[in-house]
Chains A and B, each alone.
Chain A
Amino acid sequence: SAVISQKPSRDICQRGTSLTIQCQVDSQVTMMFWYRQQPGQSLTLIATANQGSEATYESGFVIDKFPISRPNLTFSTLTVSNMSPEDSSIYLCSVSGNVFAGPDTQYFGPGTRLTVL
């Protein structure tokens, strides 16, 4: 499986500020995704990070609030902009299309726990 790291692992931020979360994979992958898990809830897909082009956002999520970059096949960032307490969640990146697994198996990073005061 792919080894995925996320930075930071957790952060406490003030409302109105922005935080950029990094996701690094130890091997090239085809697909990278970003998910949000609100307290006590399941995971919701924010967007698909496309290499070299704009991310594809799911309904309810917009680029101005969650800008995403994917400059190459092993790295992506998610920014949570102009934060409010409602943005307090765990943010997880996931990958698929690793050479060691089938094209569809999706592996997750350890997550970034964000608290907005």
Chain B
Amino acid sequence: SQQGEEDPQALSIQEGENATMNCSYKTSINNLQWYRQNSGRGLVHLILIRSNEREKHSGRLRVTLDTSKKSSSLLITASRAADTASYFCATGSGATNKLIFGTGTLLAVQP
């Protein structure tokens, strides 16, 4: 399968704690994008990191990318109950930058 792998598959934490999700992929990429999905609804774009970038921040989100290890991580700091959702990484490649999605991490933040 070309699909990337994410771990953990599920993560349960308390409000205020940090959540870290990891993504591994197999091919060379143009960029890597992270998405959030609430209860099978549409995907919300969180952040894009290019293949020549190593770290990127957006609010409470911190994304790292290690192209030598073909891996990325998403850190959510000071989590809130509203962060409860599924999180997906997706690698963009080729001339059209079509996306290949990871398997996803289900995050539950307990109030």
Interface residues, chain A, CB within 8 Å of chain B?
1, 31, 33, 37, 42-45, 48, 56, 90, 92, 94, 96, 102-111, 113
Contacts and interface: CB of A to CB of B under 8 A. Distances in A.
B3 A42 contact: yes
A45 B93 CA distance: 13
Given A31-B97, A45-B100, A94-B99, 16 more contacts: A31-B96, A42-B3, A42-B101, A43-B43, A43-B101, A92-B43, A94-B43, A103-B97, A104-B92, A105-B33, A105-B48, A106-B97, A107-B45, A110-B42, A111-B41, A113-B40
With most chain B CB atoms within 10 A of its CB, the pick from A42, A48, A113 is: A42
B103 interface: yes
Interface of B: 3, 30-31, 33, 35, 40-43, 45, 48, 88, 90, 92, 96-104
Contact of A105 (B42, B45, B101): B45
B16 to A, nearest CB: 29
B31 A42 contact: no
Q: Chain A: interface secondary structure?
A: strand
Nearest to B100: A45
A22 to B, nearest CB: 15
A107 B35 CA distance: 10
B104 A108 contact: no
A42 B88 contact: yes
A104 B31 contact: yes
Given A42-B3, A111-B41, A106 B96 contact: no
B88 A109 contact: no
